Amino acid sequence: MNNNAVIKTNFKFPGQTNLYEGKVRDVYSIEDRLMLMVVTDRISAFDVVLPRGIPYKGQVLNQIAAKNLDATSDIVPNWKISCPDPMVTAGRICDPYKVEMVIRGYLTGHAWREYKKGKRHLCGIPMPEGMKENQKFPEPLITPTTKAATGHDEDISREEIIQSGLVNENEYIKLEKYTRKLFERGQQMAEKRGLILIDTKYEFGTADNNIYLIDEIHTPDSSRYFYADEYEHRLKNNMSQKQLSKEFVREWLIEKGFQGEEGQQIPQMTDEFVAQVSERYIELFEKITGEKFQKTKADIVEKRIEENCMAFMEQKMG
């Protein structure tokens, strides 16, 4: 098992103007013209970065996102220019909207946890009475969240977004339209692979007065997939769904008494558990793309990333 997970990067690229460290991504701005997004092997759950990285996770996420950005660029333009390394996407710098567009086709995860508490509205959207866990909504719900710099993202309604000026009404209507179309395309693509895209989130930004899709799309970190062939049987028999997403990591943490709340200790992640998570990510890559995952050399990852990015910039920036 390769244990050389990339937890942190600290490159010094020529023309570098900024380094932003997200939960999972290290984002380098070059001369405010170009962005290099390094998808590390960090893993987060309940808005907390867990202490150990997951080998190959960054490569899996980056390569799935790149394929899905290419497959949806006819719906909305996106920020991607190129992938100079299996763990890196280079793209245009956009000014991000301060909301994440979450869309849910099924009553699962956070929506189900709220429903179970007796709530029948999520982000101002009504949820029908008498539903059971993992049941399909009559039509997908858009349930946006705020984009928190630290701590938890918060549910927010369409009205609150517009009233607070986070996004103006015309642009918000466009974001909703893009969200529905992207989700529909994602579901069609998943169906061809024997999967159901259950829910996901999209992030958007602006550059040159245009709206762009930014960040990742339809990856196991931003989306939830169920296996289609077992869905009806499991739903009918009130069994948990077999799924390809990060939910199994959340479930493991909940089992160990951790949900990101104050005073809770992050449980110890064993080598065995880390290896299991890594295998699940690789399985998801192969299931989602229909391609065999090519493991890159694990001993010199940081050096390879740096060299590939430098070569790309030399060619791109001149």
pLDDT of 69 strictly over 60 = yes
User: What is the mean predicted confidence (pLDDT) over 126-139?
Assistant: 98
Q: What integer pLDDT is reported at residue 277 of this predicted model?
A: 92
**DSSP state letters, 241-287:** PPEESTHHHHHHHHHTT-SS-TTPPPPP--HHHHHHHHHHHHHHHHH
Q: What integer pLDDT is reported at residue 318 of this predicted model?
A: 63
User: What is the mean predicted confidence (pLDDT) over 136-156?
Assistant: 88
Which has the closest alpha carbon to 65: 153, 172, 210, 182?
Answer: 182
Q: What integer pLDDT is reported at residue 149 of this predicted model?
A: 64
Helix 247-255 and helix 271-289, axial crossing angle in degrees, nearest 10? 160
Question: Are the CB atoms for 63 and 39 separated by under 8 Å?
Answer: no
Question: Are the CB atoms for 183 and 139 separated by under 8 Å?
Answer: no
Phi/psi of residue 174, each to 5°?
Answer: -65, -45
Tokens of 313: 């910039």
User: What is the mean predicted confidence (pLDDT) over 95-104?
Assistant: 97
pLDDT of 317 strictly over 90 = no
**DSSP state letters, 6-24:** --------TTEEEEEE-SS
> Exposed/middle/buried for 294, CB within 10 Å: 0-12, 13-18, 19+?
exposed
Query: Please, which contacts does 111-117 make with residues 24 or more away whose CB atoms are closer than 8 Å?
Result: 111/141, 111/143, 111/199
Q: What integer pLDDT is reported at residue 1 of this predicted model?
A: 44
Which has the closest alpha carbon to 271: 52, 50, 44?
Answer: 52
What are the CA-CA distances from residue 192 to residues 188, 227, 302 (Å)?
7, 11, 35
Per residue in 151-185, pLDDT (tens digit) is 668 999 999 999 999 999 999 999 999 999 999 99
Q: Is 194 helix (H, G, I), strand (E, B) or coil?
A: coil
Which residues, listed in sequence order, are joined to residue 103 by a DSSP beta bridge?
142, 200
Element (H, E) at 180: helix 169-192
* Mean pLDDT of the chain, nearest integer: 94
Residue 103: count other Cβ atoms within 10 Å of its Cβ.
22
CATH no. for 96-244: 3.30.470.20
Q: Which fold has domain 16-94+269-317?
A: Phosphorylase Kinase; domain 1 (3.30.200)
pLDDT of 299 strictly over 90 = no
Q: What integer pLDDT is reported at residue 47 of this predicted model?
A: 84
**DSSP state letters, 89-137:** EEEE--EE-SEEEEEEEES-HHHHHHHHTT--EETTEE--TT--TTPEE
Which has the closest alpha carbon to 104: 180, 49, 17, 41?
Answer: 180
pTM: 0.90
Per residue in 2-17, pLDDT (tens digit) is 568 999 999 999 999 9
Question: Where do the structural domains in the chain lie, given as residue ranges?
Answer: 16-94+269-317, 96-244
Q: What integer pLDDT is reported at residue 3 of this predicted model?
A: 63
- Side-chain-side CA neighbours of 118 within 13 Å: the count stands at 0
pLDDT of 287 strictly over 70 = yes
- Side-chain-side CA neighbours of 208 within 13 Å: the count stands at 7
Q: What integer pLDDT is reported at residue 221 of this predicted model?
A: 83
